[in-house]
Structure 1
Amino acid sequence: MKNHGVDVNVVVYNTLIHALCKNGKGNLVQALVMLEKCFGNGFVPDVVALTKLMEILCKEGRISEAVEVMERVEAKGGTHDVVVYNTLAKGFVKAGNVSVSALDLFHEMKRAGVRWDFVTFETLTHGFCSAGKTREGVEIFELMLEDRGGCGGRIACCNSISYSLYKNNDIGKALEFLDYMKNWFPQAVDRTLTILHLCEEGNTDEGRKILDEMRERGRAPSAIVYASLIQEHCKKGCMREAVELVNEMTGLWYFPVASTFNALISGFCKQGRAGIAVRLMDDLKTRGCLLDSESYGVVVEALWAEGDLQHVFVMLMQMMERGIAPNQDTWNLLIRVAMEGKSENRLLQTEYMTKLDLLIH
């Protein structure tokens, strides 16, 4: 265009920036270069191009750069809308900066005259609840009810609060909140309670069918539903189905608590598949799940039963590194191992005793 004397206007820059950031698969470096050229020629990108660029920066964890881009556009007379602010808020939440950065941005929107929308409230509620701050999440939820006049048929905030209560092991309060949700989502609550009742009866097949129907209709089930189905599948030894449910659960950003993933670990160990349980523990750690003494205790006992003393040592050292004290059953097993001298390898036995002494002290 330049070679043929055609003026390059702001529309061209907007189009190129948007294309370079499309679906997060473009070239971020080139997009930033194009942004500088846009500024250099006296143009300001429109809100669509700005949003896409900030979105990909936030996904890359480069939130400070996204803030800088937003401020530069503002300084040059560009406009922001609620989507721009929501994009930045999601970035702060993903980075775990909900209490300071995301909440400050929430108040900044009001000062700037940008009205909050449902995505704004959902983002903040999810951020607080994922961090285990249920009270703050409920406050944002109540503010949404006041500001928007209800839930707008969107169940995300309610599910975030249910998830937070589940994470805090407040199952009783989670069930109370389900009853409260009936005011806006009677059908979803009825289906949830039906699944929980089916799990109590051991009827996981019907429960799974209802869950699939909910997802097909765009109704994301609560974390409690997944936890109940996972535990019941593990009791029945249906480990493949249980793992599938865990993957679905984490795909919705519901990370299982100890009681849920310990059921998985125990289920594999009962089937003599301690090696899979160990790999599962590694996977859970990468997903941000916090293992506890029961997690390690079940695996240590299974590995000992299989005669795999070396992996018992590995689990023992991991517990030490993470500051996890063995429970009573694990202590009894460790002492029994030391006393029985099951290993024929004296060097290995001496190494075990040394590590056990370190753990005691």
Structure 2
Amino acid sequence: QEGVTPNVIIYNMLLGGFCRCGEIERAKELFSRMSGKSFPPNAVTYCTMIDGCCKTGDLAEAFRLFDEMKLKGLVPDSFVYTTLVDGCCRWNDEERAISLFETNEKDCASTAAPFNAYINWVFKFGKTKLINRLMDGSFDRFSKHNDVTYNIMIDYLCKEGNVEAGKELLQKMKAANLMPSVVTYTSLLNGYEKTGRRSEMFAIFDEAIAAGIEPDNIMYSVIISAFLREGMTTKALVLVDEMIAKNAVVDGCKLSVSTCRALLSGFAKVGEMEAAEKVMENMVRLNYIPESSSVVELINESCISTNQSMEADAAP
């Protein structure tokens, strides 16, 4: 109406708006109109449409556009491959996911993002044959690994109880000059805890601290719980004090409600009433409302501790 002639940029913006709103049919209609204009769809157009189709579950159309894009000489980038892999994972289309990665292996692994999306899906849904293939060497063929790649694999292996393989990947990660993070070490801690190997668990925690890792509330909770189960209350108390001291300055170490409750229960069960009361005080300071069961447990344990002390004093 204003006499402005739309161009491919304007069309792409409109397509993006339709796709973000889930109006994929309107996006398809606009896309077909573009093909008849003097400005054909470009790589951005195809990326936008493929993303929209994947989000709405129209994988058949997404892959048709993907093939059409390549036939027109447009080169799919990392975003396109990642979008297609994510789409297959979201809609549980195993056959397309495998076909995409195996027929476009070099392009899919050209950057870390598509490969990470692929292996995250492989491990999340326990695709045994594909996992074995990755672990038997195909993983090493891909040069585009990053810390996320290793963290996905280490976490899966540790959850499966295969901590040795996870530790081997940690060494490979270091050899590749990639920095293990608190996420990496927490996965290993959970793996050792799951397999009951607490001495090795404590060693890997010491290694993390020596490497300059700043524990977050999840790592603290895991290691403190392990110390409590081993009766190492002094070490647990030191870490609780450290955690509380960091609370004001390190967001990642903020005591969560679940962490406070776990610590409260753990200290109460081993009779460390002063530590349990300290946790309770911090829950109040952070405006957390302790569960009634936690309060009852604390009172019960306090009564038991008091009775034991009185009996000891009364003994001849």
TM score, norm. by length of structure 2:
0.53
Superposition map of 1:161-176 within 5 A: 161-176=153-168
Superposition map of 1:43-62 within 5 A: 43-62=39-58
Contact 1:234 1:242 in 2 (8 A): no
Please give the root-mean-square deviation of Cα atoms over the aligned residues, in Å.
5.0
Give 1:226 deviation, angstroms.
Answer: 8.8
Partner of 2:37: 41
2:76 corresponds, among 81, 93, 108, to: 81
Paired positions, count: 233
Corresponding position: 1:104 with 2:104: no
Once the two structures are superposed, residues 152-175 of structure 1 have per-residue CA deviations (whole angstroms, 9 ceiling, x without a partner) of: xx1122111112212323234323
1:9–1:179 distance in 2 versus 1, CA, 3 Å: closer
Distance in 2 (CA, whole Å) between partners of 1:229 and 1:16 is: 51
Contact 2:147 2:173 in 1 (8 A): no
Which blocks of at least 5 consecutive residues in structure 2 are unaligned? 190-198, 230-235, 241-254, 270-292, 294-316
Once the two structures are superposed, residues 245-268 of structure 1 have per-residue CA deviations (whole angstroms, 9 ceiling, x without a partner) of: 9xxxxxxxxxxxxxxxxx97xx69
Give 1:72 deviation, angstroms.
Answer: 4.6
Contact 1:20 1:30 in 2 (8 A): yes
Give 1:63 deviation, angstroms.
Answer: 2.3
1:118–1:109 distance in 2 versus 1, CA, 3 Å: same
Once the two structures are superposed, residues 119-172 of structure 1 have per-residue CA deviations (whole angstroms, 9 ceiling, x without a partner) of: 232222222122224663474474454343x63xx1122111112212323234
Distance in 2 (CA, whole Å) between partners of 1:155 and 1:27 is: 36
Partner of 1:31: 27
Partner of 2:110: 116
Distance in 2 (CA, whole Å) between partners of 1:18 and 1:49 is: 9
Moved more, 191-200 or 61-70: 191-200
Partner of 1:16: 14
Give 1:189 deviation, angstroms.
Answer: 6.7
Distance in 2 (CA, whole Å) between partners of 1:139 and 1:73 is: 30
Corresponding position: 1:125 with 2:119: yes
Specify the SS of the correspondent of 1:210.
Answer: coil
Give 1:92 deviation, angstroms.
Answer: 1.0
Corresponding position: 1:63 with 2:59: yes
Superposition map of 1:1-361 within 5 A: 4=3, 6-21=4-19, 24=20, 27-41=23-37, 43-74=39-70, 77=72, 79-83=74-78, 84-98=80-94, 100-109=95-104, 116-133=110-127, 136-137=130-131, 139-140=133-134, 142-143=137-138, 145-148=140-143, 151=145, 154-185=146-177, 187-188=179-180, 196=189, 200=202, 210-212=214-216, 228=222, 241=256, 243=258
Partner of 1:345: none
Contact 1:82 1:115 in 2 (8 A): no
Which blocks of at least 5 consecutive residues in structure 1 are unaligned? 214-223, 246-262, 272-301, 303-361
Specify the SS of the correspondent of 1:182.
Answer: helix
Matching residue's letter, 2:77: V
1:88–1:12 distance in 2 versus 1, CA, 3 Å: same
Matching residue's letter, 1:81: P
1:42–1:168 distance in 2 versus 1, CA, 3 Å: farther
Once the two structures are superposed, residues 215-258 of structure 1 have per-residue CA deviations (whole angstroms, 9 ceiling, x without a partner) of: xxxxxxxxx9599359559978x9x737479xxxxxxxxxxxxx
Once the two structures are superposed, residues 46-77 of structure 1 have per-residue CA deviations (whole angstroms, 9 ceiling, x without a partner) of: 112321232233233332332233345456x3
Matching residue's letter, 1:107: E
Matching residue's letter, 1:156: V
Specify the SS of the correspondent of 1:188.
Answer: coil
TM score, norm. by length of structure 1:
0.48
1:11–1:130 distance in 2 versus 1, CA, 3 Å: same
1:227–1:48 distance in 2 versus 1, CA, 3 Å: farther
1:37–1:211 distance in 2 versus 1, CA, 3 Å: farther
Contact 2:34 2:41 in 1 (8 A): yes
Give 1:88 deviation, angstroms.
Answer: 0.6
1:116–1:190 distance in 2 versus 1, CA, 3 Å: closer
Matching residue's letter, 1:103: I
Contact 1:31 1:53 in 2 (8 A): yes
Give 1:45 deviation, angstroms.
Answer: 1.8
1:231–1:52 distance in 2 versus 1, CA, 3 Å: farther
- Percent of aligned pairs with the same amino acid: 20
1:54–1:92 distance in 2 versus 1, CA, 3 Å: same
Partner of 2:233: none
